[in-house]
Structure 1
Amino acid sequence: MKKSKGRVTLPSEQNFLEETKELMERWGADALRDSDGTKLDDEIKQLDAKIYTTYFVARSHNEFAEQHPEEVQQLYLMSQYNTAKDTELEIAFMNGYFTEQIEPDYIHDPKVWWEVIDRTTGEVVDTDNWEVKKTANLLLIRNAVPWHEYTVSFLAYMKWDPTQMYNHITNDWGDKPHEIPFDARQPHSNQFIKTYLKKWLKENPDTDVVRFTTFFYHFTLVFNHLGKEKFVDWFGYGASVSVAALEAFEQEKGYRLRPEDIVDQGYYNTTFRVPSNAYLDYMDFIQQFVAREVKELVESVHESGKEAMMFLGDNWIGTEPYGKYFAETGIDAVVGSVGDGTTLRMIADIPNVRYTEGRFLPYFFPDTFYEGNNPVIEANENWLTARRALMRKPLDRIGYGGYVSLAYKFPDFVNYVEHITDEFRDIYSKIKDVKPYAGIKVAILNAWGKLRTWQSHTVAHGKWYKQTYSYHGVLEALSGSAVDVTFIRFDDVIEHGVPEDVDVIVNVGDAGTAFSGGERWLDEALTAKIREWVYNGGGFIGIGEPTACHHEGRYFQLANVLGVDKELGFSLSTNKYFTEAVDSHFIAEDSNGYDFGESMKNIYALCDETEIIEYTDGGIHLSSSPFGKGRGVYIAGLPFSHENTRLLMRALFYAAHKEDQFKIWYASNIHCEVHAYPEIKKYAVVNNSTEKQVTDVYDGYGKKHSVKLAPSEIIWEEFSDEG
């Protein structure tokens, strides 16, 4: 059998020519790339492959940055909380920050751009009552209220790019210069960025694809005084702030932002926060600016006969791929790090590009490729989780990054990647641009909607804060399941109602977060429209603390739809009689035990119509309830697993009154899945585990047969319209 080739990008480096040729042959690579810290020599660039060259727009030009220190990128940061013990309080506002990364901005007047807040009352301290001691990085408050807490919101320069800093520390780069990020909004920087790119394009004729890593503003990544990560928000707009940006914002939007609009009580508008109108305005403002500037850079790339690729990471802020302005940039392709099925779908579903590419894990760095470690374990886990999603929406290309010379020392890893690349090309050749069968359509309802399609709280390298977090668990389960998924905002429902083609709405998250919704649930139009929609036959699934905001005697604002509420301690005097679990239920038919992750306590049934499916430790963890012609389902938590994926799928079909359609293109074994492609009359039975599996397979006509699968195997079959 002739080996397949193409659709794979291989990292390479200097003095690695023969090994690169070997890996190109074995992995079928048709593109070569450099990485942060590596370069391709001329001999490698002459190989028969597309050449990707990493391009840093707003870093790696220290000679320029040092000439314009006033144009270094900025951040608003907040000091630690400080307690006043008398009427004077001295705050060392740089405590806890890494001085090699952060430097206070004394170029611009602190009295104009900083803010001191009494955090006990929330009041802003008058500028007459404080002064900055610049040489010591101290701020002195006079007329403080004893035993009140105070913070300083200060403007700072970020003099070391966070990604280069991470790579520098991880790889022990020693005295290699710290790369200084500069701001594309500033006049000298803006001109330099455009002029240098045109010069670079002429000097790099061997480059076929300019891999922008990325453009102007890094996601918020601030290090502590030990050089460790202090605050990480992959969606954070903190590094896009500057005096110039704040002044331009005021001119464009008609009002001035406070430092607090960015600092946000020290939460920095993390994606967990329900966004304020001011912050949404600021995001929109940055996105428009970035799109305009990126368009100019992309046009220069195209004029040189090259392609423009954007890395979905590092300095990606403002280039929201599901945002309103992304299409205007003209970018040819997006590449991003694939950590699981969710991150794969985040990349693969991006519209308005010619192709998408995933950088698979592990990254070829010494924190994984060291003697005694087996990188195949991570590679295998990464591939199996991502492959589920690939079966629903394939990437156009895959690849790796880092020091390929490290990976080459692990022959088992090289062998495994050879298998992955072959399997990827086989899947792609069969299903690219083919719509898979989906038995149901699900709408994920939160404060972000479409803007955060397949995104929740990812950080660098595609990892997640908490693998047990239910919102990610739901996304991961859905990323590879036979469902159509859309993402909608609360405002979408208020303004337009529930989309007609949606079968089930899912609201999942902790109380007060952007995912659950917090005070957005106090909007009577929102609750009324969803109640009406469910009553007329829709399905609603709440997970964790859905619709949670204590108001008028309810904690879950859609408690009547869900059939349950949470005891906060206020109604302990009211007896709760409904505790008996049903003997059996459609949702629980495949369950051999439950894993609700961090779960929830003190959930109780409102009435005897609530079908209690799981009740332990004095509380409900799984239940369903009728509501008119529709149904509500409550789940206490849902970390990702094969078991919980099946539980969620059953809950979706039950909520939608589609139980009779559940066993269409279905595998009885929870470790297996069936993906059908009616357009091409093919279906695949997939073993998502590293063990042998046997499963009954139900086709699209309800007929079943038994299938045996080797570990991780995919079996492809054809079918006809007759079944």
Structure 2
Amino acid sequence: MSLQTQPASPPSPYEGGRLTLPIQTGMDEDIRSLIARLGADAVRNSDGTELPGIVSELATRVYSTYFVGRGDNAWADAHPEEATRIFLMSDRVVATADGPLGIDLLSSWFADQVRPDTDCDVSRWWQAHDRTTGRELPATAWSVGADGRTVTVHDALAGHVYTVSFLATQIWDPTQMYNYLTNGWDEDPSRAREKPFDVRHEATWAHVRSHLSSWLDEHPEVDVVRFTTFFYHFTLVYGADAAERYVDWFGYSASVSLPALEAFEEEYGYRLSAEDFVDAGYYNSPFRVPTRAFRDWIDFQQRFVTSRVRELTEAVHARGKEAMMFLGDNWIGTEPYGEHFATTGIDAVVGSVGSGATCRMIADIPHVRYTEGRFLPYFFPDVFHPGGDPVAEANRSWLEARRAIVRSPLDRIGYGGYLSLALEHPDFIDRIEQIVSEFRSIHARSAGHRPLAPGFKVAVINSWGRLRSWMTHMVAHALWYRQTYSYLGVLEALSGLPLDVEFLSFDDVRAGAARDVKVLVCAGAEGTAFSGGAQWADPELVAAVSSFVTGGGGLIGVGAPSAHPAHGVTFQLADVLGVDREIGWGLSTRRPLPRVQEHFITQDLTDGLDDGEGTPDVVVTSPTTRVLDAADGQVRLAVNEVGRGRAVYASGLPYCAQNSRLLHRAVLWAAGQEEDFSRWAALDPRVEVAAYPDGRTTLVINNALEPVTTTVPTPQGPRTVRLEEGGHQWLTAAAQ
């Protein structure tokens, strides 16, 4: 058993309140009343709202959003050459005949947001490709039309597919554009379309520092400068229909500029091209195994961004104010789990909480004094409208996040948007009051300590390692959910389980960093950065993980772990896992039909494994494999013992209470500690238990929206509890 403790923290921030409330002008009495009711000890403005004149009377702390790279159109208009840039790719166009082929660069992009940059050396920074052959065309083989948005491939070949990768100027900030379109600000002439600018240019950087200095002088009422955020926006590009087309919360495609590209070449000794960012249209999404060039660019930009962030935070500190970073919008280059973040001097990080995993992503950030979660729903009219149900979204957000908060508490929570919209839904305010009270009780009763966990580490291994701790699926499309069941579901479950979790890269595993770990987890769809893809072509990696297991370690594989067809298997860890995926090459080999057995891991399954989209055609490869769940002759859940170690395989694991329980059992079984399971878990999988280091305090939470009666473990022995829907109970034994 380990004590996941943290040093007894001072009574801050900021003592008992722990709530940040968005406010706006024109509703002074409502604000006073709501602050008193909810006990908010900090207030903030949001994009599109202003702090009222009474702000200094209201709370312990006053936050103000501050936009470093936008919000000053006078500067942007006077220096158009210093606007931020982005690399984009045209549509894939099929040549229907030999000869000239015209390609409209913006046929699927939002012309109000981006404009092709024809002022740069297009022969150097643009590229045209024959995607059928994979060949880049020489610059003489294509030309840009007078309209600046049409490229002609002079001698296209019939049946071949062509694209153009081009540098574009960003003429509208993506977040402000989203807020503008969502709220219908086009009807308000005072709402300008804000243009972003790039601090890589020395004139803009000098202006940014000067503007911040003046702003600090003009706003003595502000205690916390909430940088929203810094310099480079994650990749968010709209389509011609004014709807989101490509969203990558980790994307670096919009962090480019000619000075940066030239500085990179000078430092690293090789030149980056448009293709290094466009990536054939994948844009280096986090699901792609990262290339050397992309890794180098991330590190290059991290060092630049963090050094300039440090200058801004020093200016804030010199005025006696705190510097807070919003983990979103223009966060690219800050990388809170990167090696350079500690140099920024940031006091706090606030981020949007949409799940348990995103909650842990914020709460676990090192090198800051405190963390804050901005809870959903945001007070915008897409949710707060007649017929809307913000209470349902608040319940979902809270119940998913609460599991993670119990394991790694945020220091504060808050909300954002238009308070006036929230007040139109009194049932929502009632629910928020309950949530805030429960959040405070977690801090008060836990006395600043994390709950107990078994005395071993669980390491999630992937291509990114610590850099992407708890970072999974921050995209706006439904497709991610089907494609990332294997990874997202595992992380969501782990975020609230009584386990000590860390993240390792495959490079870490090769170097032996898993020595102090008991269980490795490899989960993800085939070919992705999370399952590893071509990384598993390296025999050193395969041998390192295999030796880890045979030497007594545990392995849990979900989805397509180590999938890379070679050497007679699809899963390169098939001999450890005891299963493999049949991709059609071995159909002439007769496979035994899986015979399902009972097992410790499946004792809480009621109707079989819910593997979501699952991974098809998984077959048994070892006589020692035990199949725990199967359907249509295909393995969905299995275990194997090899050497002194144990392995578990699941074809998919979308998050739900039952699957979270199954993963908890799987981890303890893989670690050889299944006999201790009853010390950590309630009888009902919908209920979770946290025991604290004092040996007397236990928190029990109900993750279901219905009442539950169950038996739970406490240091003094099992107890039966009844919990209301979504409710919780503190169980405290008398001091001995």
Residue 478 (structure 1) shift: 0.7
Pairing partner for 1:355 from 359, 363, 370 = 370
Q: Which residue of 2 aligns with 1:64?
A: 75
Return the offset for 1:95.
1.2
- Please give the alpha-carbon distance, in whole angstroms, between the structure 2 residues aligned to 1:476 and 1:258: 37
Candidates 710, 722, 726, aligned match of 1:708: 722
1:183-228 CA distances to partner (integer Å, 9 max, x unpaired)? Answer: 0101221111111000100011111110000000000000000110
Instruction: Describe the SS at the equivalent of 1:116.
Output: strand
**Counterpart contact for 1:78–1:152, Cα < 8 Å:** yes
Amino acid at match of 1:714: H
2:47 matched to 1:36?
Answer: yes
Query: Does structure 2 conserve the Cα–Cα contact (< 8 Å) formed by 1:56 and 1:213?
Result: yes
Identify the residue that residue 538 of structure 1 maps to in structure 2.
553
The residue that corresponds to 1:132 in the other structure is 144
Matches within 5 A, 1:235-634: 235-431=250-446, 433-439=448-454, 440-459=456-475, 465-466=480-481, 469-500=485-516, 502-582=517-597, 584-593=598-607, 594-634=609-649
- d(CA) in 1 for partners of 2:447 and 2:117? 51
TM-score, normalised with respect to structure 1: 0.97
The one-character-per-residue Cα deviations of 1:108-139 (angstroms, maximum 9, x if unpaired) are 12111111111111111111111111325211
- Give the conservation status (yes or no) of the 8 Å contact 1:434–1:679: no
- Separation (CA, whole Å) in 2 of partners of 1:251 and 1:643: 54
Letter in structure 2 aligned against 1:95:
S
Q: Does 1:86 align with 2:102?
A: no
What does residue range 72-221 of structure 1 map to in structure 2 within 5 Å? 72-84=83-95, 85-135=97-147, 137-174=149-186, 175=189, 176-221=191-236
Amino acid paired to 1:655: A
Q: 1:354 to 1:434 in 2, by over 3 A?
A: same
CA offsets, 1:485-504, max 9 Å, x none? 0000000011224232x121
Query: Any idea what SS the aligned residue of 1:673 has?
Result: strand
Q: Secondary structure at the match of 1:99?
A: coil
3-state SS of paired residue (1:571):
coil
* Structure 1: tracts of 5 or more residues without a match: none
Task: Report the AA paired with residue 287 of structure 2.
Answer: F
Counterpart-to-counterpart distance in 1, 2:247 and 2:584:
35
Give the 3-state SS of the residue equivalent to 2:147 in structure 1. Answer: helix
Q: Matches of 1:403 and 1:7 in 2, distance apart?
A: 20
After superposition, give the CA deviation of every residue in 1:362-390 in whole Å (9 maximum; x if it has no partner).
10001111112221111111111111111
- Provide the C-alpha distance between the structure 1 equivalents of 2:566 and 2:536, rounded to a whole number of angstroms: 9
DSSP 3-state at the match of 2:549? helix
Letter in structure 1 aligned against 2:286? T
Q: How many residues align?
A: 715
Runs of 4+ in 1 over 6 A off after TM superposition: none
Pairwise CA distance, 1:719: 4.4
Question: 1:676 aligns to what?
Answer: 691
CA contact (8 A) 1:684 1:716 kept: yes
Q: Distance in 2 between matches of 1:599 and 1:693?
A: 30
Distance 1:680 1:44 in 2: 44
Distance between the aligned counterparts of 1:61 and 1:33, measured in 2?
21
CA distance in 1, matches of 2:376, 2:79: 38
- Identify if the C-alpha distance between structure 1 residues 185 and 136 changes in structure 2 by more than 3 Å, giving closer, same or farther: closer
Matching of residues 660-671 of structure 1 within 5 Å: 660-671=675-686
Q: Which residue of 2 aligns with 1:13?
A: 24
Cα distance per residue 1:226-272 (max 9 Å; x no partner): 11001000000111111111001011111111211111010000010
Choose 662-671 or 515-524, whichever is displaced more: 662-671
Identity of aligned residues (%): 49
In structure 2, the gaps of 5 or more residues are: 1-14
Task: For residues 340-366 of structure 1, give each alpha carbon's deviation from its aligned partner in whole angstroms, at most 9, with x where no partner exists.
Answer: 111111101011001100100010001
Q: For residues 49 and 196 of structure 2, what CA distance do their matches in structure 1 show?
A: 20
CA contact (8 A) 1:666 1:699 kept: no
Letter in 2 for 1:705: R
C-alpha RMSD over aligned residues:
1.6
- Preserved CA contact (<8 Å) 2:324 2:347: yes
In structure 2, what is the Cα distance between the partners aligned to 1:413 and 1:216? 35
The 1-side partners of 2:479 and 2:565 are apart by: 29
TM-superposition CA deviations, 1:317-337 (whole Å, max 9, x none): 001000011110000000000
| Contact 1:31 1:49 (8 Å CA) reproduced | yes
Distance 2:624 2:566 in 1: 23
* In 1, Cα distance between equivalents of 2:721 and 2:479: 35
Matching of residue 718 in structure 1 with residue 729 in structure 2: no
**Secondary structure of 1:143's partner?**
strand
- 1:165-186 deviation line (CA, Å, top 9, x unaligned): 1000100001421100000101
Task: Give the Cα–Cα distance (whole angstroms) in 1 for the partners of residues 246 and 335 of structure 2.
Answer: 21
Whether the 8 Å contact between 1:498 and 1:530 is mirrored in structure 2 is no
- Residue identity matched to 1:624: V
Match of 2:246 among 215, 231, 248: 231
* Structure 2 residue matching 1:498: 3-state secondary structure: helix
Residues 336 and 432 (structure 1), Cα distance of their counterparts in 2 relative to 1, 3 Å cut? farther
Matches of 2:479 and 2:439 in 1, distance apart?
24
1:347, 1:395 within 8 Å by CA — same for their partners in 2? yes
Question: 2:698 touches 2:732 (CA, 8 Å); kept in 1?
Answer: yes
> For residue 504 of structure 2, what is the amino acid of its counterpart?
I
2: CA distance, partners of 1:360 / 1:233: 21
The 2-side partners of 1:146 and 1:284 are apart by 42
Contact 1:294 1:329 survives alignment (8 Å): yes
Question: CA contact under 8 A between 1:497 and 1:529: conserved in structure 2?
Answer: no
- Post-superposition shift, 1:665? 3.1
SS state at 1:678 partner: coil
State how far apart, in whole Å, the 2-side matches of 1:321 and 1:698 are. 36
1:503-526 deviation per Cα after TM superposition (whole angstroms, max 9, x unaligned): 211101111100000000111111
Tell me, yes or no, if the aligned pair for 1:13 and 1:403 is still in contact at 8 Å.
yes
Q: TM-score, normalised by structure 2?
A: 0.95
- Find the counterpart in structure 2 of residue 647 from structure 1: 662
User: Which amino acid counterpart does residue 147 of structure 1 have in structure 2?
Assistant: G
Question: Displacement of 1:642 after TM fit?
Answer: 0.3
Q: Is the 8 A contact 1:339 1:463 kept in 2?
A: no
Cα deviation 1:668-690 (Å, max 9, x = unaligned) = 11111110112463111211222
Contact 2:463 2:529 in 1 (8 A): yes
Question: CA separation in 2, counterparts of 1:330 and 1:432?
Answer: 27
In the alignment, the residues of structure 2 paired with residue 432 and residue 238 of structure 1 have an alpha-carbon distance, to the nearest angstrom, of: 44
Q: Contact 1:130 / 1:142 at 8 angstroms: preserved in 2?
A: yes
Quote the offset at 1:608 in angstroms: 2.4
CA contact 1:384–1:712 (8 Å) conserved in 2: yes
Is the Cα–Cα contact under 8 Å of residues 43 and 59 in structure 2 kept in the other structure?
Answer: no
Asked if structure 1 preserves the Cα contact closer than 8 Å seen for 2:554 and 2:671, the reply is yes
